[in-house]
């Protein structure tokens, strides 16, 4: 059985066939070639498949594809541009927060979501915010460094944490 879903993917409307039980991750990667959405587990643990669904962080491997019908999905491709990185991306660059980088899109999206929903925070809060994402390379230290410095810098433009929209 197939169902047709129409949703907004990174600012563009798409209509595509899916199955009731198909995970969103598979639909994005395989039918829509959105390879920026990564795949690492089948259990919702690693967070590399993270996307924003109506601006809330979800793990696309655990999200049934039909659920996105009529909604807005943003992947890392819609965060910043090569010329004008999102502030979160800039901080990841400055703080050496990526090594192999496979986890990085998930961490950037989780951080974007965290900042949008948080006023003041400390390193412990940042740890909680990213504990649903796994990184095997960095020991999380430099990712937390990046997020911590965002606290100081984004205070100024707290109204628009999504930055470069």
Partner 1 sequence: MTREAPGTDSSRSIQASRETAEQPPSKRGVGTATKRTDIASKVRGTAIYGSDVSRPSTLHAAVLRAETPHGTLRTVDTTAATDCDGVVAACSRSELRGFFDDRIRHVGDVIAAVAATDRETAYRALEEIEYDVIEHEPVFDAATAVQAGAPIVHENQPDLKQHRQHPIEVTNEEYVNNIDDYHAYQHGDVDEALNTADHVIERSYTTPRVSHCNLDTHCCIASWTDDQLHVETTLGNITQAQEELGDFLEIDHDSVEITVPPTPSSSFGGRSLPKFTFEPVAASLSERTGRPVRLEFPRDVEFLAGETRHKTEWELTMGVTDDGEITALQTSVIADTGGYPNGVGHIVLSNGRDRPLDMYRIPNYEYEGVSVFTNNVPAGEYRGIGVTQGTFALESHIDEVARTVGMDPLTFRSRNLLEEGEDRSNGRGPIDTSGVTECLERGQRTFERITDDRSSSSNELVGRGVALGTHTTGSGAGDGRDVSEAELTMRTDGTVTAKTAGVELGQGSDTVMSQIVAHEVGVPPEAVRVERFPASAALDDSLGAVASRSTYLIGGAVRDAGTQLSSTLVDRISTALDCSPADVRIDDGTVHTDRSTVSISDLLEEEITVVGRATADDAPASYGAHFAEVVVDPGTGHVDVRTFVAAQDVGFAINPKMVEGQLEGAVLHGVEFAICSELRADNGIPENSSLADYSVASPVEMPNQLECEIIESAERSGPYGAKGLGTPSLPPVAPAIGNAIRDAIGNRITNPPATAERVFFAMAGRDFDEEVPVDE
User: What residues numbered 119-148 form the site for ligand FES, per CB under 6 A?
Assistant: 135-138
**CB count, 10 Å around CB of 149?**
15
Binding mask 53-82 for partner 1 (x = CB under 8 A): ----------------------xxx-xx-x
Backbone angles phi, psi at 110, to 5 degrees: -65, -35
Contact flag: residue 14 with partner 1 (CB under 8 A)? no
Closest distance of CB 150 from partner 1, Å: 13
Binding mask 20-39 for partner 1 (x = CB under 8 A): ---------------xx-xx
Q: How many Å separate Cα 67 from the centre of its chain? A: 18
Q: Which lies closer to ligand FES via its Cβ, residue 3 or residue 137? A: 137
Contact flag: residue 49 with ligand FES (CB under 6 A)? yes
Closest distance of CB 44 from ligand FES, Å: 5
Residues that bind ligand FES (CB under 6 A): 39-41, 44-49, 59, 61, 98-103, 135-138
Residues that bind partner 1 (CB under 8 A): 35-36, 38-46, 48, 75-77, 79-80, 82, 85, 89, 92-94, 96, 98-105, 108, 127, 130-131, 134-142, 144
């Amino acid at each position: 059985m197939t169902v047709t879903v129409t949703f907004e993917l990174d600012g563009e409307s798409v209509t595509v066939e899916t199955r009731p039980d198909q995970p969103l991750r598979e639909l994005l990667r395989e039918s829509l070639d959105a390879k920026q959405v990564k795949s690492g587990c089948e259990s919702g643990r690693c967070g590399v498949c993270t996307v924003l669904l109506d601006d809330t962080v979800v793990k696309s491997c655990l999200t049934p594809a039909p659920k996105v019908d009529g909604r807005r999905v943003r992947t890392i491709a819609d965060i910043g541009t090569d010329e004008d990185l999102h502030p979160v991306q800039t901080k990841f660059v400055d703080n050496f927060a990526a090594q192999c980088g496979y986890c990085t899109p998930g961490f950037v999206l989780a951080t974007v979501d965290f900042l949008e929903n948080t006023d003041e925070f400390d390193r412990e809060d940042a740890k909680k915010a990213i504990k649903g994402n796994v990184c095997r390379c960095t020991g999380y230290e430099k990712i937390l460094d990046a997020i911590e410095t965002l606290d100081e810098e984004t205070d100024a433009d707290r109204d628009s944490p999504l930055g470069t929209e």
